[in-house]
């Protein structure tokens, strides 16, 4: 049976190949493939709610909402009514979004073409009654002196990227018990600039599940995106328990695996930075490291900078073995048994 998601995905593929990289970068929006949208929709737990209010901010052509609504049409949710509020600022996408969402009978649809951040912060952050949110928010840095940064600060959100701003706002607008499923870059897990964002979500929600893709190039392959992405499931005001960690090589999900990790091994209780450790094993020896770490890098005189050297973007400069004027490039495989082994002949990154 052809679902509306399939129709939306056909439109997405045509638009993706016909849209310039400059336009995509300007809005920071990369549309969700149907396989990812369908998987994300599948992560919402069963609900005994009779009325559903779904938020899709940065909706694109509506793939995520369609995936959710297709599941409802297939009687996988028991809602009597569904209301969808979708935000999309791109004029080229709005007509497609409207067409796809309006194809569902008995769904009340509100498509908002204004700036989500400005509208969500205008009257202060408050419960808007959303019971569910499914999001692929834009990925773009926020200038420290921009109107977005000021608007977010006014409602207590301090963050440096649009994606984390969208998640924080959606979480602030959710009804108690509301469920969020979002695909976002993994950088929020340990980036120092994301500490306020981690505090914000951990104080207001429980983490139910996180999904990792082993390949960073295939999830948004049509857009040639190499950003490492993660799918995260949050519950507003939920009681925190073990976290389901799932993995797959790519967006086919053909080799999907799951394991449950205690939350205290995801966010160490004694970690002031509240780093989020996305473990993929239940091997206790591999994940209980907190007590073994006695000093911070600052205390031992080490500075860490991420991003300046990215191997797959600098292939012409890479060398198999040391040469004059070359510097070490250290991978996790070089760090074993509490010591560094470098160089390693015939080394392959793992």
Helix (H), strand (E), coil (C) string for 112-167: ECCCHHHHHHHCCCCCCCEEEEEECCCCCECCCCCHHHHHHHHCCCCCCEHHHHHH
Q: Residue 334: its pLDDT value, please?
A: 85
The predicted pLDDT at position 297 comes to: 75
Q: Which of 76-85, 155-164, 212-221, 326-335 has the lowest mean pLDDT?
A: 212-221
* Percent of the chain whose predicted confidence (pLDDT) is above 70: 87
For residue 215, pLDDT over 80 is answered with no
Evaluate whether 236 touches 205 at the Cβ level (below 8 Å).
Answer: yes
Lowest-confidence region among 245-249, 309-313, 317-321: 309-313
Taking the alpha carbons of 337, 343, 344, 347 in that order, is the dihedral positive or negative?
positive
Query: What would the pLDDT profile of 279-304 be if each residue is shown by its tens digit?
Result: 765 555 444 554 556 677 778 888 77
pLDDT at 227: 65
User: Which has more confidence, 156 or 226?
Assistant: 156
- Pick the closest to residue 98 from 53, 62, 70 (CA basis): 62
- What is the Cα–Cα distance from 51 to 285, expressed in whole angstroms? 45
Q: Which residues pair with 64 in a beta bridge?
A: none
Average per-residue pLDDT for the chain = 87
Q: When comparing pLDDT for 295 and 90, which is higher? A: 90
User: 179: which 2 tokens?
Assistant: 């469920």
Instruction: Please report, rounded to a whole number, the percentage of residues in the chain having pLDDT higher than 90.
Output: 60
Q: How confident is the model at residue 350 (pLDDT cuts 50, 70, 90)?
A: low
Distance, in Å, from the CA atom of 247 to the CA atom of 212, rounded to the nearest integer, reads 5
Q: How confident is the model at residue 1 (pLDDT cuts 50, 70, 90)?
A: very low
Q: Residue 287's pLDDT is what? A: 47
345 falls in which pLDDT band (50, 70, 90)?
confident
The answer on pLDDT for 147 being more than 90 is yes
pLDDT in tens, 161-178: 999 999 999 999 999 999
Least confident of 72-86, 215-229, 258-272: 215-229
The answer to whether residue 220 scores a pLDDT higher than 70 is no
Helix (H, G, I), strand (E, B) or coil at 231: strand
Rounded mean pLDDT of 144-148? 93
Please tell me the distance from the alpha carbon of residue 101 to that of residue 68, in angstroms, as a whole number. Answer: 11
Band of the pLDDT at 124, cuts 50, 70, 90?
confident
Domains of the chain: 4-287 (3.40.50.150), 307-350 (no CATH)
- pLDDT over 50 (residue 153): yes
Cα 57 to Cα 333: distance, rounded to the nearest angstrom: 40
Asked whether the predicted pLDDT for residue 15 surpasses 90, the reply is no
Please give the backbone phi and psi of residue 176, each rounded to the nearest 5 degrees, phi first. -55, 135
Distance, in Å, from the CA atom of 147 to the CA atom of 40, rounded to the nearest integer, reads 31
Residue 81 parent element (H or E): strand 81-87
What's the confidence (pLDDT) of residue 307? 66
């Amino acid at each position: 049976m052809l679902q509306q998601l399939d129709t939306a995905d056909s439109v997405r593929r045509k638009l993706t190949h016909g849209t310039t990289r400059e336009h995509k970068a300007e809005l920071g929006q990369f549309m969700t493939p149907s396989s990812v949208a369908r998987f994300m929709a599948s992560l919402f737990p069963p609900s005994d709610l009779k009325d559903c209010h779904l938020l899709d901010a940065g909706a694109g052509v509506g793939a995520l909402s369609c995936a959710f609504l297709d599941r409802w049409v297939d009687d996988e949710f028991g809602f009597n009514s569904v209301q969808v509020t979708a935000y999309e600022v791109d004029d080229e996408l709005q007509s497609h979004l409207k067409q796809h969402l309006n194809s569902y009978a008995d769904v009340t649809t509100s498509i908002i073409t204004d700036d989500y951040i400005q509208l969500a912060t205008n009257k202060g952050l408050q419960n808007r009654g959303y019971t569910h949110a499914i999001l692929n928010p834009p990925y773009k840095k926020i200038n420290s002196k921009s109107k977005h940064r000021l608007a977010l600060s006014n409602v207590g959100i301090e963050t440096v990227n649009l994606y984390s701003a969208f998640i924080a706002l959606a979480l602030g607008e959710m009804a108690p018990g509301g469920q969020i499923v979002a695909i976002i870059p993994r950088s929020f897990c340990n980036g120092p600039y994301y500490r306020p964002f981690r505090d914000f979500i951990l104080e207001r929600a429980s983490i139910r599940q996180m999904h990792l893709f082993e390949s960073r190039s295939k999830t948004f392959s049509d857009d040639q995106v190499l950003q490492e992405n993660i799918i995260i499931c949050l519950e507003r005001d939920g009681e925190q328990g073990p976290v389901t960690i799932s993995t797959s090589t790519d967006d086919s999900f053909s080799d999907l695996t799951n394991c449950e990790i205690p939350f205290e091994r995801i966010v160490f209780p004694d970690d002031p930075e509240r780093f989020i450790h996305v473990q993929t094993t239940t091997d206790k020896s591999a994940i209980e490291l907190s007590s073994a770490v006695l000093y911070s890098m600052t205390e031992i005189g080490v500075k860490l900078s991420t991003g300046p050297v990215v191997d797959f973007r600098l292939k012409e400069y890479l060398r198999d073995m040391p040469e004059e004027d070359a510097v070490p490039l250290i991978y996790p495989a070089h760090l074993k048994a509490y010591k560094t082994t470098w160089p390693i002949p015939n080394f392959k990154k793992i």
